[in-house]
Amino acid sequence: MGKKLVVYSFFAALLLFGIITGTLIAPEELTVNYIVFILAAPLLFTARTAVMNGLILSSMLLYIGLAFFAQHTPILSKNLVNVILYGVLSMLLTAMMMRSKLQRILYHKEKEMLEVSKRESQERILNYERFLTDMVRYAASEENPDKVLNQLVEYIGQRMTADRAYIFEQNDRGTFDNTYEWCKAGVSKEKDNLQDVPYEGIIEAWFAQYQESNNVIIHDIEECKKTSEAIYERLKPQGVNTLVTGPIKINGKMVGFYGVDNSPEEKLHEISNLIDMIEFMISFMIRLRDNADALEHSALYDQLTDCKNRKALDWAYTEKLEKYFPLAIVMCDINGLKEINDQKGHDAGDKFIVQTAQTLKSVFGKRHVYRFGGDEFIAVLPNITHPAFQKLLETAKSQLGATASLGTTISGTKDTDFESLLKAADVEMYENKKQYYIVTGKDRRKQTSHA
């Protein structure tokens, strides 16, 4: 304000001096003083065009009024036209100068804005590149996709300064499980509490919004209460105040979502810009994990019974068994399989094998049962006590009945090797098998068969 006052005062004094000099003091000098000062004024003043032209017009009218008041004939006859001519010229010059100045200002501002925008764009690109590079580095730092996904969730949570980061995946039942979770120190874990989450409700609403904006952002959970009581009641008890989630798509189908809780406001915008990149990396690693799981399952599991195969039992031959002590073995050989195959066909025989496998898995646990041969199975039970083993064995005998012959053994010392245990169980199974044929009166040679 002070600078404007100085400029206006200087301009007024300048015009007044020119007017008085050209009319009252030295009219014989024509309008030289007035014209010189009136033309110089636009170069010294920086007001807007309307203000400048208003001042110039006012000064012209003042000059003409004083000229008539002085009744000086030379002024009226020689200078009045010049005053009007040069005054109008000064107004045009002012308008042109101000227009040129405004264009320069706009140009520089636009250039500055473009440079700022360019710097911001470059910074965003570098930021995205660093983000992608870090995610790739995390992906390369672990030996399997499952661990990579845990690392990615941790990285996203830390990068977004969140309390919690997570991945939800749809299961075979159509509900959703929290499969990966990272929590900041001091933040309670919710993974175990978020299993079998129904699709109806929150997830259904989010999936609908993903179709439109590819993300869901909650800036304030209290504001969310006004639009969705259900979402509020679900999230508030978990301590959620802000939230960003994005979809996980595989082959164009949404199979889950990921998100972060309680990131600062500026991070919410950042993660919304990184949604596509994060989704690509997570979905890519989930596909790798699923493919790796499928390959591993194919290599280590029997196709017919879904029991583990001989290959999956390699650890028992190569590792020291002292850490599994006591280690128990149950050998199982199906009775009467050849008779079923001959009388009812191999499909019926396969069903019989599958039923036996299901019984063994239900008693001893799926991860402990292996298909050892065509109609032979083995259960390997690490770190089991004698009473617990006897209880399981009684259950197995009760459920299997005469459909299978069993042979069992349990390690007596920590240095017992697996092949010795296997041989002892096999001997007992062979004896029980022989007793079965004696009791039933069946010809063992005719019954011996492997499917």
* Alpha-carbon span 106 to 83, nearest angstrom: 34
pLDDT value for 450:
43
Q: What is the mean pLDDT of each run of 10 residues along the chain (451 residues)?
A: 66 66 59 55 57 69 68 56 64 66 69 72 69 71 80 88 93 93 91 90 88 86 80 84 90 90 83 78 86 86 92 90 92 90 90 94 94 92 94 94 92 89 93 86 54 42
Q: What is the pLDDT of residue 302?
A: 92
Residue appearing with tokens 């010049």: 82
326 prior amide bond cis, ω within 30? yes
Please calculate the CA angle 57-60-64 and round it to the nearest 5 degrees: 145
Structure tokens at 3: 């600078």
pLDDT of residue 74: 56
Cα–Cα distances (Å) from 362 to 26, 133, 179, 411, in that order, read: 122, 46, 25, 23
The closest of 274, 47, 252 to 260, measured between CA atoms, is 274
User: What's the burial of 205, exposed, middle or buried (CB within 10 Å: 0-12/13-18/19+)?
Assistant: middle
Q: What are phi and psi of 50, to 5 degrees?
A: -60, -40
Contacts of 322 (CB under 8 A, 6+ apart): 414, 415
Q: Return the SS3 of 21.
A: helix
Q: Residue 325's pLDDT is what?
A: 92
How many angstroms separate the Cα of 99 from the Cα of each of 36, 41, 50, 271, 273? 22, 16, 11, 44, 40
* Whole-number pLDDT of residue 451: 42
d(CA 171, CA 197): 10
